[in-house]
A = this chain, B = another copy of it.
Amino acid sequence: MLHIDYRDSRPIYEQIVDGFTRLAISAVLTPDTQLPSVRQLAIELSINPNTIQRAYTELEKRGVTYSIKGRGSFISADCDTLRQTRLAELQADITSLAHEARQLGATDTMLLHWMQVQHTKEGGQP
């Protein structure tokens, strides 16, 4: 379900947080879906349970999940807000990168190509 890259410079707990966040935002995991238990996921990923717990604590703090002692951790209901937040981040990042690319000589045509925008008149996808 999750993919951890040990060569990645980002810490494991952060990769777990991002992974479940993406799954929740993209609706791959629907609200109230139960996450693997702290110990179970630790075994699956061969990672210390403390690291998993740190990720789960962060996920709950961010509102991606909710936890019930003795029962488990579950995907939150309001992922719409999270999606809007993520889209705002993406907008800021893309705008900044596009600005830098333009300063280095990138043209509109190049940028459109990079983003694979359907810039012809006839419409989008089937």
A residues near B, CB below 8 A? 25-26, 83, 86-87, 90-91, 93-95, 97-101, 103-106, 108, 110-112, 114-119, 124
Contacts and interface: CB of A to CB of B under 8 A. Distances in A.
Contact of A94 (B101, B104, B105, B119): B101
A108 B97 contact: no
A111 B104 contact: no
A94 B112 contact: no
A118 B98 CA distance: 13
Report the copy number of this chain in the oligomer: 2
B86 A111 contact: no
B87 A101 contact: yes
Contact of A105 (B83, B99, B103): B83
Contacts of A25: 104
Given A26-B104, A87-B104, A101-B87, A94 B114 contact: yes
Q: Name, among A86, A93, A118, A124, the residue most crowded by chain B CB atoms within 10 Å (CB to CB).
A: A93
Contact of A111 (B83, B101, B103, B117): B117
A115 B104 contact: no
A92 to B, nearest CB: 9
